[in-house]
Chain A
Amino acid sequence: MSLLAACVVVLILYLGVLVGIGIWSARRTSTAEDFILGGRKVGPWVTALSFIAVYFSSVLIIGGGGFGYKFGMATVWIGAINVLVGCTLCWIVLGRRVRLFTERMGVSTISGFFTKRYNSPEAGVFSALIIFIFLIIYNVSVVKGMAHSFEVLMGLPYWGGVLISGIVIIFYVVLGGYQAVVWTGLIQAWVMIFSLLLLTFRTLNVVGGLSEGMRKLAEIGPGYVNTPGVWGWAGLISFCLIVSLGVWGMPQLLIRFYSIKDAKTFRLGTVIVTVGAAVAVLPYLNGAFARILIPELQNADLAIPSLSRLVLSPWGAAILLAGVVAAGMSTFAGVLIIISSSLVRDVYINGLKKVMTGEQEILANRVISGSVGVIALLIALKPPALILVLTGFSWAVIASTNLWPLLFGLYWKGASRAGAFISMLAGTVTAIVWTWLGKPFGIHGFITGTAVSLIVIVVVSLVKRASYPEGHIEKIYGE
């Protein structure tokens, strides 16, 4: 069987399942809370695996493989720090507190958290707008990753890949909301994990095993096996921080904590997410070994698709394509829900003080998530720059806005309304301006944005002390 035929069969089956889940979820979605949070009754397996699926988008598989190809084995550190900081510590430090606090405050979005915790509608609206703008950018990069894989593995034109993946996602998100996102995420995570293991197994076979692969790679250049290798410490450390600590401020991941069934399920969830996320090192490893087998690639982003064509059977390559598409779809879908709920609930209902019935809110979420999906697809048809550069930029801005106000809001009663809002503004402006200036001294906008945001929230909260209505903080902290 040809590669094209295998891809068509696997994708039709896979996309059919996703569409089915969308229709099934639509029947279980009767309230706005169901659409946004799945009614806060999602179990540990679904939560943890959909967390992995949303975290490790096609950007990880395609872009991570590209980084491995360009910079060598040192990049496996990115995957390792993803596991430790982005998953294990994130769940331990944020998970349960986010779940408890948001339940006590009765909020269902990260922007809603800022509004209630800091008694600050301006912080909520500002956060929602930043999420809206920069998550669209992020989604564009996700679609780009998926479309590249269609291009290489199936010979489809780029626009064809964009449309096929985009239309299916929009269909199931608009129909099934959050429930469709997490249940498809569960399947997508398994497809992604299996396909990465399959690719790694075959690649190691072809290069003669791990030791032999490392020897061959060292022959090409010692910089490809050493740490920090050809990349250098500054680039490696700052990128590890961006894609690991940055997660702590990413709403499409934090929402998993809001929606988990109960606080107890965090125990099993934390172990599942850590073990499952271990596959995060594999795209980098495969990307590095792709240099041995395909030394003259012009575009590093094509390392994984090209490698899979070389080492996998048509069925294996088709499964990998499904894995890449799965990774991208889950992320894209998760982001659509966040954007629509931020706009409808945080900007329109809470910010502009408009009243909506439950049915109107579901309809508004469906219309907005569908429209935002179409906008992202249209932008992705003529995409700018390298995938990871775009992602790094949007993550930098979102993390600089949300990270410290969230963390301090959970752990420091003294964090004040003025401190949080000014910190958000300062972090956002710094990240954008720093990137616009061309990253002076080679420092990424995420580092400067979050550093400024951290200093500002502490200093301003100490200078302009928190003064909340009586009982406000005690209620949130459960005292």
Chain B
Amino acid sequence: MGPFNMPWLTFSAFIVVDISVLIAIIWVVMDIRKHPENGGKNGEGQR
């Protein structure tokens, strides 16, 4: 049994939500490193 009287498999759904936030943040950091000057390939999409 996992936290809050939840079976681990059910509780894992909440962990997936946390992982999603982590993925979003990691992607942003990687993207800033990849394109430090702007957000788009070759600077396109900038207005």
Residues of chain A at the chain B interface (Cβ within 8 Å):
40-41, 73-74, 76-77, 79-81, 83-84, 87-89, 91-92, 96, 99-100, 103-104, 210-212, 214-215, 218, 225-227, 261-268, 270-271, 273-275, 278, 281, 478
Contacts and interface: CB of A to CB of B under 8 A. Distances in A.
Given A80-B13, A100-B45, A278-B21, 19 more contacts: A73-B10, A76-B14, A77-B16, A79-B17, A80-B20, A84-B17, A84-B20, A87-B20, A88-B21, A99-B40, A103-B44, A214-B4, A227-B10, A263-B40, A263-B46, A264-B38, A264-B40, A275-B24, A281-B17
Given A211-B4, A218-B5, A263-B39, A226 B27 contact: no
A311 B5 CA distance: 23
A92 B39 CA distance: 12
Contacts of B13: 76-77, 79-80, 227, 281
A104 to B, nearest CB: 7
B16 A84 contact: yes
A274 B21 contact: yes
A264 B46 contact: yes
Interface in B28-46: 28, 31-32, 38-42, 44-46
7 contacts: A73-B6, A73-B10, A88-B20, A92-B23, A215-B5, A267-B28, A271-B21
A76 B24 contact: no
Given A262-B46, A263-B45, A96 B40 contact: yes
A281 B45 CA distance: 34
B10 A74 contact: yes
Contact of A100 (B14, B16, B41): B41
Contacts of A274: 20-21, 23-24
Main secondary structure of the interface of A (DSSP, over half): helix
B24 A80 contact: no
Nearest to B5: A214
B33 to A, nearest CB: 12
Contacts of A104: 44
A270 B27 contact: yes
Contacts of B38: 262-264
A80 B21 CA distance: 11
Q: Nearest 8 pairs between A and B by C-beta?
A: A264-B39, A263-B40, A263-B45, A214-B5, A263-B39, A80-B13, A80-B16, A227-B9
Contacts of B14: 76, 80, 281
A325 B45 CA distance: 35
A211 B45 contact: no
**Residue picked from B7, B20, B38, B41, most chain A C-beta under 10 Å:** B20
Contacts of A270: 24, 27-28
Nearest to B8: A227
B17 to A, nearest CB: 5
A396 B9 CA distance: 27
A96 B44 CA distance: 10
Given A79-B13, A96-B39, A267-B32, A214 B6 contact: yes
A104 B24 CA distance: 26
